[in-house]
Structure 1
Amino acid sequence: MEINPQEWCSKEPIHIPGGVQPHGMLIAIDKTGVVQYVSENLAVASGIPAHEILGNNVRLLSEFFGKKASSNFVMDLIELASQDEQMRPLNPYAIRMGDTPFNLIITQSDSLYILDIEPEESNLFEDPQNLVGASLSQMLADRDLDTILENTVVQIRKVIGYDRVMIYKFHRDGHGEVVAEDYAMELESWLGLHYPAADIPAQARELYKVNLVRLIADVGSSPAALLSNNDAPLNLTGSSLRAVSPMHIRYLKNMNVASSFSVSIIVDGALWGLIACHNYSPRFINFRQRETAKLIGQVLSSCVGMRDQEAVQKERIKLQGIIMEVTRSLQHNDRIPALVDDCGEEILRGFRASGFVLYFEGGIYSVGNVPTADQIEQIANQFAVVDDHSYIRSNKAMRDFTFTEFDNVSFAGVLSCRLTHGIKDCLILFRPEQASTVKWAGDPTKLISIDEEGQPFISPRNSFDQWVQECSGQAEDWTDVEIEVFVKIRDELNFAIGRKIEELRLLNEKLRDAYAELDSFTYTVSHDLKTPLTAIRAYAELIQRKSTEPTVFDMAEKIRLSAVRLNQMVQTVLEYSKVGQKFVNKQRVDMAVLITEIKDHLLMGRVNDNLNLEVVNTPELEGDPILLFQVFLNVIENAVKYSHKQHVPTVIIEGASTDQETIYRITDNGVGISVQQQDKIFDLFSRVGDVGEFEGTGVGLATVRKIMTRHGAEITVESTLGSGSTFILRFPKEIVA
């Protein structure tokens, strides 16, 4: 059975321990003042049996608290503290039990009020309030954070007199490190030692954010049980007397610690660390003294926050220049990937990275040392798996990217940020391994013991001897500022992509309008030309009929033939313009029927009786049947025309279909097309070869390409001059009109 120590420890219900530390007593009352819980030691001390206290009004204990029997001072205090709908108790409230002074501390727990009763007497001989002013001055005498932390532990130890005072800083994964300490001469230093996250599990760290001070007065004492008339556990989150987890007691005993005291360091709402204090004999400090220590902790929290903010701002300013360079590059380049060439080196320097990748529209653009294309593709694919994340952050790639085999040395750190939700396009940074040595207070892995029945259980470490771990395959972690700036670079990239998409959309609209206007103009001009051309032809024929001069007849014949050719050109231009205006009526087209009709038409009017038209395969297409007939008629007719001078003109029509597209190849053994002419044959009025040898207007293939484009399809040619040509028609399975 595999056990995760941190997960196991985090499940312990430490906020409902069912008891209190025995140096104090506790009562929990409802909003009417009726006692719902009482600590066993209070019943003993008051001489009133617990069953008489429970269910009765708290006034029953007024005389025990040194008040008149009729006093309702507890409820009066609660009412005073709750006047503005938020409870702000005037803690502590002084009471006396006999000749002994106590502090009454009121907190709220769900719908109940908890009364902690603690001794006023303390193990401190001097009130720390007299020292706090000078201590704060000494703490803040330097701007360097490390020096401030060192000053703090010295001053805190002077104030509370514990044997050891440490600043314990939490790392991102929850484990802690001693970053400053002051201790009695006979003790050994713990400075620089790391402690696993299971030592202070997640739910304990959450409680440290609620209770800014925590005292365990005597590790060796047994808790006083809480008594109640119901079985529901009492939430003691806000109680200063909350009993201690048995596991934590065992942990402290294994360290030979008899008393501990901690003050939380909270920065921006997060637990940055603790002022952790150990004493090797029991030690109690009262509420006011703990509040003084809390004040020092709050001042330190503000100081740490300010220094952290200064460091963050300095880092942000350094990286801000990269965003400006990225913005400049994107504004001055039409190609998005040009960003890598323009800013790649600066991004590497700014982020202390060894490699940078832009994965964009299936292309990989990189600078520096990056993994293989397959591994980059696998990182990009992760955004389909972690759909709720816009970035992936890792300083241990071998651990976090189990789907691929990364070079453990070169690519230990990965920071990847996707561009747009739902696609794989992303930015990726890489960092090399930063080998390090971590000194642990004991082996952090040895938290699992075996009971008498051979079952595993979590046990606090017995040994805190220094244990050294050599860390490999780990990069320097990415800072929050680096992630913030990297996301901003992503945002700039997305903005530029959006801007270019909008520019293309506007350009397409203008082109669409221009093409529509051109089509309309072409149609109008072509249509209007037909009338004078008809007249020219008619007059030429009239001259031929009336003239007796051979020279005049020949001249009239040339005029007539020129008018006929010009009329044919006008007609083809009309057909070309109609393609742009015609609605594409898509449907399934039986290509066997369509090509057979074309074949019969061409065989009937063939020039060469040896013409060989072969049809190999005819998969169906989706498109406009009239327009598709025009496409195949033009291409096959061209193949026949340019091969008819061969002894056996041969034209092969062969179709094939895949999951993505249907391809038709129309091959002839004709005159072929030169490389120079291949780039122009689909242009309007462009013709191949000797224009006097082969009839045509140069509009047919331009019309074909226009029809293909309207179907979302593509036409290309492969040819060698003198060896025939092959026209390749590619139709996607999902046709775009």
Structure 2
Amino acid sequence: MAIPLETDPSLDLTACDREPIHIPGAIQPHGLLLVAEAGPGHAVIAGAGAIEARLATHWQGRPLADLLGQDIQALLHHLPGGLDATSQIVVPGIGESFVATVHRGGTHLLVELEPVAGAPASVSTTLAWLDAVAASFERAADLQTLYDRAAGAFRMLTGFDRVMIYRFLDDDAGQVVAEDRDPSLATFRNHRFPASDIPRQARALYVRNRTRTIPTVDYDPAPLRPAAFDHIDLSDVAVRHVSPIHLQYLRNMGVEASASISIVKDGLLWGLIACHHNSPRVLPPDVRNTAATLASGLARQIRAKEEAAAYRERLTLRADEDHMVPRLNSEEPLRASIIAVKDELRAMLHADGFAMVAGNQIERSGRCPDDNVLAGIARWVRERGGEPLATHELGALFPMARAHETMMSGLLALPLFDEDAILLWLRAETVETIEWAGNPHKSVAVTPGETLTPRTSFASYSETVRGCSQRWTLEQIEAAHRLRRRFHEARQHLQVRTLNREYARALSEKDALLAQKDVLMKEVNHRVQNSLQLVASFLRLQAKTANSPVVADHLAEAQARLAAVALVHRRLYRDDQVESVDLARYVDELIADMRTSLGAEWGRHIKLDLAPVLVPTDRAVNIGLILTELVINATKYAYGGAAGPLAIALEQHGGKLRLIVADDGRGKGDGEGFGSRMMDAMVQRLSGVIEYGDNHPGLRAIMTAPIDEI
């Protein structure tokens, strides 16, 4: 669970982020740990715990196979590719039996042994129970019902006094969204914890090692021996020693035992199932495995219900939009049409107030401040460049609005094309009371050199947050952009109809001018495309005649980058929304072009999994060039120049997107060429990050960036 600290605000709390919790140098004493050489013989060279009393009197230097009674080579041979641990095996000890799990740990094999408390449930019984719980998850009507059912299911599985579903919010703070507990315990439901409570390295371990258990907080850690081995990375070891700060935190909380199961959605840490018990309690390995499997099913159900809710919202917005559009295509001016549907526009986006500011004319619907305030907001929006704006905390951007927060803490502003008018959707202040497990702002005196300690008070502390409204959803913002285009189209249609009536005798001339303009635009696009194709052909010719393979490769890379730019240019003249691009469609077309340039053999090996993401056009250009570089690197280094499997995926997570390029090849590239340096610069321009990981086998490159510019 979280580790809130009570400290002076001047202290550097990032020290928690630097604690090497993956190298504790010790384990919890309920288990044992053997460290063996990875080479032939697998001699045991180090260990931790009461090995002499519980497993074997003489163990150091002996082959691992003798201690475990297993053919280690056969065991490792059957280890599934890409996994770090073998299936659990039963090992007899001195007066007890252990469940052993073998991990690969760099140049060593790590074997953790946990005592078998009793006969585990049969496979058929476990599968039947998991199937029943999964069915109840599927039948949940909404996310809150799903969370509540999950808390009950995990408490039934683990037997802990308290089980909480702990979700990470957009700002990385955490909130207990569901809880199942012993009635005698106080509730933590809906309580929040700041983002600093769980350090970055701890979150990384939660993704890597999905379960963790502390049978008792009052234990003396068993150090690795000999001492020279206390630096070994124990990230994958379930019995590793826990941070002393966290143990003291649990003692202060009155918790004697705890367990955590990670909820990982789309490769990211969504939240935790946090379990607390008021007396020592062991969570056996078979139960942990069942819990991890159930957590994976829970993550899939969360994703399915989130997507279903977003889809239903899109359908509702589309229906409201289709209901209003015919009224916009009437014979009356656009402003009059908007005034006629102002109530519907307000209700469509669930706003408390709506206003249209057009010069000195102000029309309103619902709860709105005075006209001079609305006019001031419209001037401020124009001064910002006249771009659409959505915020749930207007006072932070426009201080003058703080005096009217009760009416307009949230704002969605939409300047209209070709109109001196701005549409304003307003949302009233939503006073939110946040429950904290203790006062997060309380400080204690800490003298220089004193060790940070966890707080001792967990009394519920309420904090009232003002000046914020309900957030605008991505679907609502997208609907507002569509309305803007519809208004623009309605105005154009009205102008055309008016001109047709007023200048009937000039209709032929006007049609000719419009046709000429269209031809001119097409000609401009045609000439640009011809120029780009000419440069591409020149590069291709130079590549064929180049005497140096290095020069030929550079020319081929330049040709691929040119193709990415050419594709975006074609989209600018083809789409009606030039400021944004459907990134999935763009990537699909870009890869289609690259299939042609790379050849049929590569074309058959490239697989796409693309989610629709609407991004600004300038960001799409950079993303296209980054994708081009990643594909070029894969074709050059992954398979030694030969063709091989290449998977490309595009995902959206809230306000961020992830572009993934994965191969099954050698798993590395030089990373020092011009293309790599250019790609790093483009990633920084997107305010994003790019990470490389082992694809087991091959290389997995993940570029994460905000959808909109920060």
Name the TM-score class by shorter chain. 0.5 to 0.7
Match for residue 413 of structure 1? 410
Aligned equivalents of 2:15 and 2:393: distance in 1?
A: 23
**Counterpart among 26, 29, 52 of residue 22 in structure 1:** 29
Judge conservation of contact 1:65–1:97 (CA < 8 Å) in 2.
Answer: no
**Counterpart among 464, 467, 486 of residue 458 in structure 2:** 464
Aligned equivalents of 2:350 and 2:12: distance in 1?
A: 34
Deviations 1:316-336 (A, max 9, x none): 222222443576577668977
Aligned to 1:470, what secondary structure does the other structure show? strand
Q: Which amino acid aligns with 1:439?
A: E
Q: 1:489 to 1:21 in 2, by over 3 A?
A: farther
- Give 1:508 shift: 13
- Give 1:290 shift: 0.9
Q: 1:186 to 1:376 in 2, by over 3 A?
A: same
Deviations 1:328-358 (A, max 9, x none): 5776689776774365432321222134567
Aligned to 1:312, what secondary structure does the other structure show? helix
Match for residue 256 of structure 2? 258
- Paired residues in the alignment total 493
Match for residue 174 of structure 1? 172
- Give 1:432 shift: 0.8
Aligned to 2:63, what secondary structure does the other structure show? helix
Aligned equivalents of 2:324 and 2:291: distance in 1?
A: 49
- Give 1:435 shift: 1.8
1:60 aligns with 2:63: yes
Aligned to 1:349, what secondary structure does the other structure show? helix
Q: 1:434 to 1:508 in 2, by over 3 A?
A: farther
Match for residue 314 of structure 1? 312
Identity %: 26
Q: Which amino acid aligns with 2:30?
A: H
**Counterpart among 116, 126, 134 of residue 121 in structure 1:** 116
**Counterpart among 473, 476, 483 of residue 482 in structure 1:** 476
Aligned to 1:62, what secondary structure does the other structure show? helix
Aligned to 2:429, what secondary structure does the other structure show? coil
Aligned equivalents of 2:492 and 2:19: distance in 1?
A: 51
Deviations 1:521-574 (A, max 9, x none): xxxxxxxxxxxxxxxxxxxxxxxxxxxxxxxxxxxxxxxxxxxxxxxxxxxxxx
- Give 1:257 shift: 0.9
Moved more, 219-228 or 312-321: 219-228
Aligned equivalents of 2:233 and 2:382: distance in 1?
A: 46
Q: 1:297 to 1:333 in 2, by over 3 A?
A: farther
What is the 5 A alignment of 1:11-50? 12-26=19-33, 32=39, 38-41=46-49
Judge conservation of contact 2:263–2:295 (CA < 8 Å) in 1.
Answer: yes
Q: 1:494 to 1:123 in 2, by over 3 A?
A: farther
Judge conservation of contact 2:38–2:109 (CA < 8 Å) in 1.
Answer: no
Give unmatched runs, 5+ long, in structure 1: 54-58, 385-389, 518-737
Match for residue 282 of structure 1? 280
- Give 1:18 shift: 4.2
- Give 1:450 shift: 2.6
Judge conservation of contact 2:165–2:177 (CA < 8 Å) in 1.
Answer: yes
**Counterpart among 221, 224, 248 of residue 223 in structure 1:** 221
Q: Which amino acid aligns with 2:247?
A: I
Q: 1:103 to 1:502 in 2, by over 3 A?
A: farther
Q: 1:61 to 1:469 in 2, by over 3 A?
A: same
What is the 5 A alignment of 1:640-659? none
Q: 1:406 to 1:204 in 2, by over 3 A?
A: farther
Aligned equivalents of 2:332 and 2:124: distance in 1?
A: 67
Match for residue 294 of structure 2? 296
Match for residue 396 of structure 1? 393
Q: Which amino acid aligns with 1:438?
A: I
- Give 1:260 shift: 0.9
Q: Which amino acid aligns with 1:449?
A: V
Match for residue 526 of structure 1? none
Aligned equivalents of 2:507 and 2:230: distance in 1?
A: 70
- Give 1:140 shift: 4.7
Q: 1:405 to 1:219 in 2, by over 3 A?
A: same
Q: Which amino acid aligns with 1:104?
A: A
Match for residue 101 of structure 1? 97
Aligned equivalents of 1:25 and 1:203: distance in 2?
A: 24
**Counterpart among 419, 434, 439 of residue 443 in structure 1:** 439
Q: 1:485 to 1:282 in 2, by over 3 A?
A: farther
Q: Which amino acid aligns with 2:114?
A: P
Aligned equivalents of 2:410 and 2:219: distance in 1?
A: 48
Q: 1:340 to 1:500 in 2, by over 3 A?
A: closer
What is the 5 A alignment of 1:143-162? 143-145=140-142, 146-162=144-160
Judge conservation of contact 1:38–1:226 (CA < 8 Å) in 2.
Answer: yes
Aligned equivalents of 1:450 and 1:406: distance in 2?
A: 37
> Which structure is larger by alpha-carbon Rg, 1 or 2?
1
Q: Which amino acid aligns with 1:440?
A: W
- Give 1:275 shift: 2.5
Match for residue 245 of structure 1? 243
What is the 5 A alignment of 1:544-563? none
Q: 1:38 to 1:345 in 2, by over 3 A?
A: farther
Give unmatched runs, 5+ long, in structure 2: 1-7, 498-505, 517-710
Aligned equivalents of 1:297 and 1:499: distance in 2?
A: 54
Aligned equivalents of 2:356 and 2:151: distance in 1?
A: 48
Aligned equivalents of 1:496 and 1:28: distance in 2?
A: 73
Judge conservation of contact 2:223–2:230 (CA < 8 Å) in 1.
Answer: no
Q: Which has the higher contact order (CA 8 A, sep 6+)?
A: 2
Aligned to 1:177, what secondary structure does the other structure show? strand
- Give 1:278 shift: 0.8
Q: 1:194 to 1:49 in 2, by over 3 A?
A: same
Aligned equivalents of 2:416 and 2:107: distance in 1?
A: 51
Q: 1:150 to 1:91 in 2, by over 3 A?
A: same
Aligned to 2:66, what secondary structure does the other structure show? coil
Judge conservation of contact 2:34–2:48 (CA < 8 Å) in 1.
Answer: no
Aligned equivalents of 2:118 and 2:403: distance in 1?
A: 58
Q: 1:498 to 1:60 in 2, by over 3 A?
A: farther
How large is the RMSD of aligned CA atoms in angstroms? Answer: 5.1
- Give 1:113 shift: 6.2
- Give 1:249 shift: 1.9
Aligned equivalents of 1:174 and 1:363: distance in 2?
A: 44
- Give 1:464 shift: 0.9
Aligned to 2:435, what secondary structure does the other structure show? strand
Aligned equivalents of 1:249 and 1:165: distance in 2?
A: 18
Aligned equivalents of 2:331 and 2:229: distance in 1?
A: 71
- Give 1:106 shift: 3.5
Q: Which amino acid aligns with 1:431?
A: R
Aligned equivalents of 2:380 and 2:221: distance in 1?
A: 55
Aligned equivalents of 2:411 and 2:196: distance in 1?
A: 26
- Give 1:204 shift: 3.6
1:434 aligns with 2:434: no
What is the 5 A alignment of 1:350-389? 350-356=348-354, 369=368, 371-379=373-381
Output the TM-score relative to the length of structure 1: 0.54
Aligned equivalents of 1:227 and 1:199: distance in 2?
A: 32
